[in-house]
Amino acid sequence: MAESICFFTQDTLILKPPKKSPLLLRMAVLMFAMVCSVSICSICVKQLNTHTKARFLRVQIADYPERSISLTKVPREHYPRPKTFSRAECFNNPVRFFAIVSMQRSGSGWFESLLNSHVNVSSNGEVFSVLDRRKNITSIVQTLDRIYNLDWLSSASKNHCSAAVGFKWMLNQGLMQHHEEIADYFNQRGVSTIFIFRRNLLCRIVSVLANSYDRYAKMLNGTHKSHVHSLEEANALSKYKPVINSTSLISDLEGMEATISKALEYFGNTRHIIVYYEDLINNRTRLKDVQEFLNLPQMELRSRQVKIHTGQLSDYIKNWDDVKVTLNGTAYEHLLHADY
């Protein structure tokens, strides 16, 4: 009897499950499919976001408004009282404050020399190239106060009759590390920001490598010069053709774009104007825009500096074929077709 019951019970267990099994199996398969779908979608979304972010970065830099998105149309006027000298008859003449923000080998030296040819402008060079002046935010603010109080003396200082005073600040000279405090300082003191960048970052790489080489080679009679004032000197320096690392080229370009994008984001709330080196070369009326931005009397600005690289970009890259293969078919292909 016990065996019969046991057999019956076991048989029952064998016969009943097939009625429920298909439903449970379908539910398990459905749940597994849903989990897989969610995982796949999550991965795709992450990849899409990364790709979209990279594309947005390039569009943001390329299409950024060239004129300022200003909080005020007219620069704030100041009446400094320097400790080191008397402004004499210019005591009541207003002064505008500015900072040229850029990256090395982006045309900022030439641009600053043009500004300094204006009789009323004093731009004091790369003040923060000296480490002690940017070791912390306190030393940075103390230096800025000296500059804008007209107590910073340099070869560019026009002292008592300056109508605009400023300097050149590279992104890697403490500016990005202390961007919040510096942006607040600019807004509180009424400092106008002049961004100057290169559209063609490949040309910038060539200039950086060539300048770095000459720093040690000293091709001009044992002297290193970042900027030259004669065609003979320019021709001598342009003979060096750097080899560009084609393996890291894409990531190098992306890194430069990211740095520029961050700078525009960090200081986008200051009164600013964006100027491109190529535009200054091809359209000198952009200099009038800068003078207008600083509310200066219009003058024809001149510079003694001579361009080192001119003509076809391919003439100045030793491994041009490698660079061409690397950039063809990418978002940076257009850089290959630009001339100096």
**Domains of the chain, each with CATH number or no CATH:** 74-336 (3.40.50)
| pLDDT computed for residue 39 by the predictor | 60
pTM value > 0.95: no
Helix-, strand-, coil-residue percentages of the chain, each rounded to 5: 55, 10, 35
Burial of 310 from C-beta contacts in 10 A (0-12 / 13-18 / 19+): middle
| pLDDT computed for residue 100 by the predictor | 98
| pLDDT computed for residue 31 by the predictor | 72
Quick: pLDDT tens for 244-292. 999 999 999 999 999 999 999 999 999 999 999 999 999 888 999 999 9
| pLDDT computed for residue 41 by the predictor | 55
Identify the segments of the chain with pLDDT beneath 50: 1-18, 20, 45-69, 71
C-alpha–C-alpha distance, residues 196 and 275, integer Å: 5
Contact 309, 303 (CB under 8 A): no
C-alpha–C-alpha distance, residues 120 and 53, integer Å: 43
| pLDDT computed for residue 12 by the predictor | 42
| pLDDT computed for residue 154 by the predictor | 84
| pLDDT computed for residue 302 by the predictor | 95
| pLDDT computed for residue 199 by the predictor | 95
